[in-house]
């Protein structure tokens, strides 16, 4: 089995443990001989052998976080996580209905003109995820309006320094809100289009990318970097990010276009 989070949660971490590397593709797929990827759009990922348990409905395999939550705490932690992605300060994500989390939830409901009891409805997670996909101006979002997949990274100011984090994959025609917590006054954004093999798309001799003049460090794999001095000498990439001013705004959306 291989599983990953919905795109609204950002880039899923690469599995470090497992039993086999097998091919997957986007959408519904059937891949014979899956130990080798033979078509465009297919890629190898790590699978883990599981032994399903017998329940009344048949066989089932349970996926869970390491935290020892009760069912109620797990539900509220999931709500907290989605609120944080949407740009509301519901930290820490701990499954506890504290004043800060309750204030964030109340503000989310108010912003979308939802009744106070909407959070207890069975379909509330669908409401949260739909709000994130709409990228309607609350919080920070990327929207990919190109026919290519886009890999994006962002930076935020923390205690006088800038922390960069990436990569987040945004499929063609989709929007994504990265996990930006709190209410930062300024963010930094960089993104580049990639082909099905993961190579940077070029227009002429230049990469198809969206950035700016603020030079910050990145690396080719998943990263979080807080020191941006002498990127190249440390084996990192010096990358030009665009500054996104958020002071006095409820959010911002960066749209990628050719």
Is the overall model pTM greater than 0.75, yes or no? no
**CA distances (Å), origin 57, targets 60, 70, 71, 99, 232:** 8, 22, 20, 39, 56
The pLDDT of residue 160: 81
Query: What is residue 200's DSSP assignment?
Result: B
Burial class (CB in 10 A: 0-12, 13-18, 19+), 82: buried
> In Å, how far from its chain's centre is CA 13?
10
- Average pLDDT estimate for 9-36: 83
The residue among 190 and 161 whose pLDDT is bigger is 190
Decide: 87 and 177 in contact? Cβ < 8 Å. Answer: yes
192 has a pLDDT exceeding 90: yes
Parallel, antiparallel, or unpaired: how do β-strands 175-176 and 206-207 relate? unpaired
Bigger pLDDT: 72 or 85? 72
For the ranges 12-21, 66-75, 115-124, 241-250, the lowest mean pLDDT is seen at 12-21
Per-residue pLDDT reduced to its tens digit, 136-165: 555 688 888 899 999 999 999 887 889 999
Tokens 């919905």: give the residue.
Answer: 6
pLDDT of residue 11: 56
* Model pLDDT, residue 202: 92
The overall average pLDDT reported for the chain is 87
In percent, how much of the chain has pLDDT > 90?
A: 45
Cα distances (angstroms) measured from residue 4 to each of 98, 207, 237, 251: 29, 29, 28, 27
The more confident residue out of 87 and 4 is 4
Pairing status of strand 186-194 against strand 237-245 = antiparallel
């Amino acid at each position: 089995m291989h599983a990953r989070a919905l795109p609204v949660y950002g880039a899923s971490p690469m599995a470090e443990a497992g039993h086999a590397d097998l091919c997957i593709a986007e959408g519904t797929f059937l891949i014979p001989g899956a130990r080798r990827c033979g078509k465009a759009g297919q890629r190898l990922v790590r699978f883990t052998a599981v032994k399903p348990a017998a329940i009344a409905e048949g066989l089932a395999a349970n996926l869970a976080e390491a935290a020892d939550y009760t069912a109620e705490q797990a539900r509220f932690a999931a709500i907290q996580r989605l609120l944080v992605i949407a740009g509301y300060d519901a930290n820490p994500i701990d499954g506890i209905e504290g004043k800060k989390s309750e204030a964030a939830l109340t503000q989310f409901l108010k912003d979308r003109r939802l009744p106070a009891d909407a959070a207890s409805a069975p379909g509330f997670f669908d409401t949260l995820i739909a709000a994130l996909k709409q990228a309607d101006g609350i919080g920070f979002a990327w929207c990919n309006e190109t026919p290519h997949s886009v890999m994006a990274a962002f930076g935020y100011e923390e205690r006088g320094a800038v922390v960069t984090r990436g990569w987040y994959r945004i499929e063609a025609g989709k929007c994504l809100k990265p996990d930006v917590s709190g209410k930062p006054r300024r963010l930094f954004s960089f993104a580049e289009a990639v082909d099905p093999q993961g190579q940077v798309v070029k227009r002429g001799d230049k990469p198809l990318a969206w950035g700016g003049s603020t030079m910050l460090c990145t690396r080719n794999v998943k990263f979080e970097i807080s020191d941006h001095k002498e990127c190249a000498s440390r084996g990192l990439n010096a990358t030009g990010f665009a500054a996104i001013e958020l002071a006095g705004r409820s959010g911002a959306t960066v749209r990628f276009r050719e």
